[in-house]
Amino acid sequence: MKNDKEKFKKEFKARVYCFILQLVKFIDKLSNDMSSQVFANQMLRSGTSIGANYIEAQAASSKKDFANFFHYALKSANETKFWLALCRDLGKGNKEEARILLEELTEIANILGASLLTIKGKK
């Protein structure tokens, strides 16, 4: 059981990291018009925050601290979904890449949300 849990944590960490790499590549391809750059800056900030908060959770000093970092990661995932959807719907960037990123981000957010429920004892 513990090995499965550790394996899942390691795989999830890698999954989040790979998502961020793909997000940065998507952002780097956006045009230099004003709105694209605002979206890019917002997505870069919120998208990388998912990974940073997940990593911080691993070093949390308490269960409450751990839950807070997961909460921030989930909030960042939701914000990133907003910016990505806006880019997609306005035709900024490649629509297929945006779709794939949104699909993966939705799964990541679902995992973070389910983990939060488990951490808080509501599942």
- Read off the pLDDT band of 122 (50, 70, 90): low
pLDDT score recorded for residue 2: 72
Q: Is 12 exposed, middle or buried (0-12, 13-18, 19+ CB in 10 A)?
A: middle
pTM: 0.92
According to DSSP, residue 30 is labeled: S
Q: Can you give the residue range of the structural domain that contains 70?
A: 2-119
How many domains does the chain divide into? 1
Residues in the chain: 123
User: Looking at residue 102, which CATH number applies to its domain?
Assistant: 1.20.1440.60
Residue 43 contacts by C-beta under 8 Å, 6 or more apart in sequence? 23, 27, 80, 83, 84, 87
For the stretch 59-117, pLDDT in tens is 989 989 999 999 999 999 999 999 999 999 999 999 999 999 999 999 999 999 999 99
Q: How far is Cα 119 from Cα 55, in angstroms, rounded to an integer?
A: 16
